[in-house]
């Protein structure tokens, strides 16, 4: 009788455990704007965002032409501002590549504050820009200078830059290597 009770208990335990196993897994894409209702409002810390983003430009490297950057924003109007000063004589392409790098670093810094934002990579600027608009300007650091680049991108709008900053940075590294080789000859 005791043996029957033990067998019955084991069979019941296995039945209960087998009934708890899901039979189908469903992956649901979550829209960050819809997710806001579940997790509460997004309140980015723009001081932290500024500091974390600028920390990614340590040593300046290919962006040494930038002399000053201010990153600010407003959570109620969902806007992020990038105001950069640069050396005179840089190209629009250099300014665009700097802004692309800045946008990627801002997106990654925001994803640290709120995990609902996807990280940026060489194919995307992340999901931050689906919720926040961008106002960005790169201006020479001279009195009365006109901006080299000025862009306004609404939330979810098309970003006029390539997120593939690795390509630009690799080209810069090659050019630097050639320059240094020629200088040493």
Residue with tokens 């983003």: 53
**Pairing state between β 79-86 and 66-74:** antiparallel
CA distance linking residue 48 with residue 51, whole number of Å: 5
- Tell whether pTM > 0.85: no
- Give domain status of residue 172, yes or no: yes
Residue with tokens 């990627």: 104
- Give domain status of residue 124, yes or no: yes
Q: Are 91 and 78 in contact (CB under 8 A)?
A: no
Residue with tokens 């997710």: 35
What's the domain count of the chain? Answer: 1
Q: How many CB atoms lie within 10 A of CB 109?
A: 23
Query: What is the span of the domain harbouring residue 155?
Result: 39-184
Name the pLDDT band for 14 (thresholds 50, 70, 90): very low
Instruction: Give 22-46 pLDDT, tens digit per residue.
Output: 444 444 444 444 444 456 788 999 9
Residue with tokens 């990280």: 119
- Annotate the chain with three-state secondary structure: CHHHHHHHHHHHHHHHHHHCCCCCCCCCCCCHHHHHHHHCCCCCCHHHHHHHHHHCCCCCHHHCCEEEEEEEEECCCCEEEEEEEECCCCCHHHHHHHHHHHHHHHHHHHHHHCCCCCCCECCECCCHHHHCEEEEEEEECCCCCCCCEEEEECCCCCCCCCCCHHHHHHHHHHHHHHHHHHHHC
- Give domain status of residue 28, yes or no: no
**pLDDT reading at 168 higher than 80:** yes
Residue among 137, 151, 49 at smallest CA distance from 85: 137
**pLDDT reading at 77 higher than 50:** yes
- Give domain status of residue 11, yes or no: no
**pLDDT reading at 154 higher than 90:** yes
- Give domain status of residue 72, yes or no: yes
If you average pLDDT over every residue of the chain, what do you get?
81
- Give domain status of residue 34, yes or no: no
């Amino acid at each position: 009788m005791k043996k029957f009770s033990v067998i019955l208990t084991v069979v019941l335990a296995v039945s209960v455990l087998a009934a708890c196993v899901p039979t189908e897994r469903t992956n649901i894409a979550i829209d960050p704007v819809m997710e806001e209702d579940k997790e509460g409002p997004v309140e980015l810390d723009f001081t932290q965002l500024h500091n974390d983003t600028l920390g990614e430009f340590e040593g300046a490297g290919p962006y040494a032409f930038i002399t000053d950057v201010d990153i600010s924003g407003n959570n109620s109007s969902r806007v992020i501002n990038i105001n950069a000063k640069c050396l005179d004589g840089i190209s629009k392409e250099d300014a665009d590549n700097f802004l692309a790098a800045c946008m990627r670093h801002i997106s990654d810094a925001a994803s640290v504050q709120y995990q609902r934002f996807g990280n940026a990579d060489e194919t995307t600027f992340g999901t931050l820009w689906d919720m926040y608009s961008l106002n960005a300007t790169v201006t020479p650091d001279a009195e009365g200078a006109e901006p080299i680049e000025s862009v306004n991108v609404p939330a979810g709008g098309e970003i006029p830059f390539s997120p593939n900053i690795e390509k630009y940075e690799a080209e810069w590294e090659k050019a630097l290597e050639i320059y240094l080789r020629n200088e040493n000859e």
